Amino acid sequence: APLRKQGKPQVFLAHGLNDTQMPIDRTARRIVPQLKQEGYDVTYREFDGTHSVPAVIASEAVAFMMARSI
């Protein structure tokens, strides 16, 4: 947890439905609602897979970051 929150960055988060390393119900499905409740703009993608992010989701994440870069 940060010592001090500053700003409201936009967040992109993706998570595999079958992730056994970080189960989705204990991670993303708890974190995303908390972030939204705190007023963060969250783009969230669930994908059919495990801990490895598919290329199409990785491309979307890069496009998300590029659209917000200075």
Contact partners, residue 61, CB within 8 Å, separation at least 6: 12, 14, 53
Give the SS3 label for residue 63.
Answer: helix
Q: Do residues 53 and 59 touch, judged by C-beta distance below 8 A?
A: no
Q: Name the residue with higher pLDDT: 14 or 68.
A: 14
Beta partners for 14? 45
Give the SS3 label for residue 25.
Answer: helix
Phi-psi region of 7 (alpha: psi -120 to 50; beta: other; left: phi over 0): left
pLDDT tens for each residue of 3-53: 787 888 899 999 999 999 999 999 999 999 999 999 999 999 999 999 999
The confidence band for 2, taking pLDDT boundaries of 50, 70 and 90, is: low
